[in-house]
Amino acid sequence: MSAHAENINYFKASKGFMSWLVTVDHKRIGLMYLASILLFFITGGVYAGLFRLELWGPLPGFISPDTYNHLFTMHGVIMVFLVVVPGIPGALGNFLLPLQLGAKDLAFPKLNITSLYLYWIGAVIALFSLTQGRADSGWTFYAPYSLSQNPAVLWMLVAAFILGFSSILTGLNFIVTIHKMRAPGMTWFRMPLFVWALYATGIMQVFATPVLGITLLLLLMENFFRIGIFDPALGGDPLLMQHFFWFYSHPAVYIIVVPAFGVVSELIATFSRKDIFGYKFIAFSSVAITIIGFLVWGHHMFVSGQSEVADTIFSFLTFFTAVPSAIKVFNWTTTLYQGSIKLTTPMLYALQFLFNFTIGGLTGIVLGILSVDIHLHDTYFVVSHFHYVAMGSTMIAFIGGIYYWWPKMTGRMFNETWGRLAAVLVFLGFNLTFFAQLIMGSQGSPRRYYNYLTEFQIYHQISTAGIVVLALGLFMALFNLLISLKNGAIAPQNPWGARTLEWTHAETPPVLYNFTETPVVTQGPYEYPTEKV
Amino acid sequence: MAEVTVPKEHEVAHHFDDLEQEFESHRLGMWLFIASEIMMFGALLVGGLLLLYKFPAAFAEGRAHLDWRLGTLNTFFLLTSGLTMALAAWHAQRSEQDKVRRNLLLSLAFATGFLIVKYFEYSAKFHHGLLPGNAFSGHGFTDPNAHVFFGFYFVATGLHVLHVLIGMGLMVWCLFVSRKVKFTRAYYTPVEQSGLYWALIDLVWIFLFPLLYLVA
Amino acid sequence: MENLPGHTYDIKVLVRVYVALLVLAGGMVVVSLAPLENIAGLDWIDLHVLKGLVIFGLATIMVSIVSGFLMGLRYEKSKLNTVVFLGNFAFLALFIVFTWADIGFRGLVYPSFEEQLNWESPVDKANKAHAGESEEAEEADPETPAH
Ligand SMILES: [Cu+2]
């Protein structure tokens, strides 16, 4: 590396395809994550598109029932393990965490590139499973169906295991970085809320993901050696497997959505040009969600044959998860109040997030009610609920975040008009797709069925039409960004007038080691100069 | 390595301000990694405890087919290697490279002893058909869930043995590093981290040993 | 040297810790083998459970010694690593308690699904297979105390 390479922008610091593959620069790793995740988002979306087209009519269409099972399994596995779980931390978190803290890099740059490679290896294995048959267990791999020694399911288990490892290493890296790598003056309460969110996420990644690891390992062992722990045919307890799985997978819901909380906090503060209302409440509610998130996994098992005692406890505790989420929503809304709101593209996504997350969160409470869940379990209501969270909240915040930090990442401004148009289409498309499913589910239409009663056809058709609009909006948003790479105006250092370090102290795009000199922090992340009225 | 290389002082990585920050980061990182390993093994042990709760008779029958003397011998091997790894770290802080290497070799020897004992235990199980699930062909058992004990036994000890092998790999790595880098009070991270990892293997065994061999 | 990282302790501490660990491990084995069943007046409590609790109690002491001394938690200025370590046990405690709330209480209101399971135990299969064989193939098992 040349003598002053550290003061050259990170694209130009070294050149060539290989220089990206062997890089330890968190910014490049973040961009590679971003590209991979978007690729799999499209892949998972295509799977969804295919089976939604099939569901246009109740009778068998162009897809056979087996293929249908395979398609929704692939959609679930790809979207969960390759898109929403690694999504915001992998792409935005990697790129921004050191910048927002005023550090030169993450604490363990080599570990960081390792987790990217693990992600790729896991992804390749997941794709390889396609050549081994058809995985059809759903993304939850419930025993005993996942014990049927389907080779494709076995490869999927291996893939998810490796992806879990990648997630653990990312979380570990983030926690250490936040504890040990903060710039002088960057106290805990001067950290941007995105950093707080990543911190809470990191705790869950490190403490919950290993349990998924052992679950998948036990499933593999059960498949190969018939150890009899989960397999009821051997005297095992299939519900034990569900406990293991959901001990990870409920916190995983928060691994998915808490980073989105962080992104939205940044967007709302910046585009309201106002100090965020209740900074500490938002920060601590992220941590509170982490803790409560470990206490409620049994609400996925109300109709599984779990004991009534456990049902009651888990239902009761589930209601508590609403408290920190509601605190956040109220604080964001209050931040908007009397702010100088700019309806830029990223802000449109943040507002969509507020709308969708409110629906996603409230439907979750409905599902937590024991007696109601008996009826709504395994209906489209559940499908709609978690899509309002995973897609309507997480992915929407992710896209908003990509738009918001795009100028910093690439040095180019995108076209606002097209960006806003795309955001509106995404909003309409998403809500068409999933609000229809909410109604249909509340009327008892079961999920994952290949066929359905004709009275539900109208909802299926609205839903399928919605996904077309959604796809249109998403591709428009994507092409808008890609076109800006070539045609976009050169971005200034701080186009949004934000107050966090990546905008105020780092160049656009940042230099190799992020800052030409280490920033000294003297104020909070959202302290805007007060304007006299 | 035939040529004699003089160990060099360690240099702080570019993104850290000083040795202290680097050291503390590595230590916290290792602890978090250990935390995730504990969660993984811990979940498995929780599973084991619940199986013990569900099938107490099966566990009692299965346990009767494990030899507590071999288990105790292995506990001794692991605790002793834990001591020698701590001694290695102690000497590393004082730049006594030779003593570091001697302790690493001792740890490797005890770890090997552990594996040898495990080999004899496993082969006895295979010989008597005390295997998981459908492979089970032991006789004289009455509890219909007795095979579950051996399923759990092989998964838990197998995963533990895998970690022993990784830990031994780390010891060998430390032996190589000790020729290249001079350990100091401020920098002995490889030995420190490998020692922490080895202590984790001890911790797991401390719970696994009673769960499998002692409690009924 | 004061500001340098790392922890220092006397080498004697390590040896003492080692001896303590050996003693505790021995204690676990002794408790497990002790014929407490023969002592009169102890029949008011399930001895297996009592033994189990004592043994796991000893194991917990061993774990705290290993983490405190050999892993150096005791010598750290910042208690962060200790919190991480204790966090593990908190999460695992939650895991076992809540899962037990299921496994321990099935069938209180509705019959447990397990009663309806139809399965053939590999143990029974093995026993049947052996019953079919002649007894001479059975050789004495040196490792097994009792059949
Ligand atoms: Cu949940």
Among A227, A245, A307, the residue to mutate for chain C (most C Cβ within 10 A): A307
- The pLDDT value given to residue C136: 46
Rounded Cα distance between A126 and A81, Å, is: 10
pLDDT in tens, B81-129: 999 999 999 999 888 899 999 999 999 999 999 999 999 999 998 888 8
* Residue A393 vs residue A517, higher pLDDT: A393
Cis peptide bond N-terminal to A144, omega within 30:
yes
Ligand 1 centroid to residue A253 C-alpha, Å: 7
Helix axes A26-54, A457-487, angle to 10 degrees: 150
Q: Is the pLDDT of residue C44 over 80?
A: no
Q: What percent of chain A has pLDDT over 70?
A: 98
CA angle at B185 for the pair B180 and B186, rounded to the nearest 5°? 80
* A303 secondary structure, DSSP code: T
- The pLDDT value given to residue C54: 92
Q: Across-strand partners of A511?
A: A9, A514
- The pair of structure tokens assigned to A481 is 């960004």
Q: What is the DSSP string of B134-193?
A: GG----S--STTHHHHHHHHHHHHHHHHHHHHHHHHHHHHHHHHHHHB---SS--HHHHH
pLDDT in tens, A248-282: 999 999 999 999 999 999 999 999 988 888 899 99
Q: How confident is the model at residue A16 (pLDDT cuts 50, 70, 90)?
A: confident
Q: How confident is the model at residue C132 (pLDDT cuts 50, 70, 90)?
A: confident
Rounded Cα distance between B92 and B86, Å, is: 10
Q: Which residues of B touch C91 (CB under 8 A)?
A: 39, 42
Among B30, B34, B40, B159, the residue to mutate for chain A (most A Cβ within 10 A): B40
Dihedral (Cα; B174, B179, B185, B189), 10-degree rounding: -30
End-to-end CA distance of chain A: 52
- The pLDDT value given to residue B84: 94
Q: Is the pLDDT of residue B151 over 70?
A: yes
| Cα atoms in the 13 Å half-sphere on the side-chain side of A480 | 23
- CB proximity list for A290: less than 8 A, separation 6 or greater: A200, A203, A204, A251, A254, A258
Rounded Cα distance between A102 and A89, Å, is: 18
Closest Cα to residue A363, out of A298, A466, A439? A439
Domains of chain A as residue ranges with CATH: 26-504 (1.20.210.10)
Q: How confident is the model at residue A145 (pLDDT cuts 50, 70, 90)?
A: confident
Closest Cα to residue A288, out of A248, A325, A334? A325
Q: What percent of chain B has pLDDT over 90?
A: 60
* A188 secondary structure, DSSP code: G
- Residues around ion ligand 1, judged by CB within 5 A, are A 250
- Which class in CATH covers the domain with range B17-214? mainly alpha
Q: How confident is the model at residue B41 (pLDDT cuts 50, 70, 90)?
A: very high
Query: Which one of C91, C109, C120 has the shortest CB-CB distance to A207?
Result: C91
- The pLDDT value given to residue B80: 95
Q: Hey, are the CB atoms on C95 and A232 less than 8 Å from each other?
A: no
Calculate the alpha carbon distances from A496 to A401, A503, C135 in Å.
13, 8, 86
List of chains touching B (3+ CB pairs within 8 A)? A, C
Q: Hey, are the CB atoms on A307 and C106 less than 8 Å from each other?
A: yes
- The pLDDT value given to residue C50: 84
**What is the count of residue pairs from B and C with beta carbons less than 8 Å apart?**
180
Closest Cα to residue A241, out of A157, A116, A315, A170? A157
Rounded Cα distance between C43 and A254, Å, is: 49
* C136 secondary structure, DSSP code: G
* Residue B87 vs residue C135, higher pLDDT: B87
- The pair of structure tokens assigned to C67 is 């983490």
Q: Is the pLDDT of residue C144 over 70?
A: no
Ligand 1 centroid to residue A464 C-alpha, Å: 27
pLDDT in tens, A443-500: 999 998 888 999 999 999 999 999 999 999 999 999 999 999 999 999 999 999 898 9
pTM of the entire predicted model: 0.92
Closest Cα to residue A195, out of A259, A253, A254? A259
If you average pLDDT over every residue of chain B, what do you get? 89
Q: Which residues of A touch C109 (CB under 8 A)?
A: 308
On whether the CB atoms of residues C101 and C45 are closer than 8 A, the answer is: no
Query: Which one of B28, B43, B147 has the shortest CB-CB distance to A214?
Result: B43
Q: Is the pLDDT of residue A3 over 60?
A: no
Q: State the complex-level ipTM.
A: 0.92
Is the CB of residue B48 less than 8 Å away from at least one CB of chain C? Answer: no
- The pLDDT value given to residue B141: 84
Among A7, A118, A209, A225, the residue to mutate for chain B (most B Cβ within 10 A): A225
Cis peptide bond N-terminal to A509, omega within 30:
yes
Q: Is the pLDDT of residue C138 over 60?
A: no
Give the range among A46-50, B140-144, C56-60, C133-137 with minimum mean pLDDT: C133-137
Buried b vs exposed e over B148-172: b needs ≥16 C-beta within 10 Å?
bbbbbbbbbbebbbebbeebbebbe
| Cα atoms in the 13 Å half-sphere on the side-chain side of A155 | 19
Closest Cα to residue A354, out of A388, A377, A382, A321? A388
- The pLDDT value given to residue C109: 85
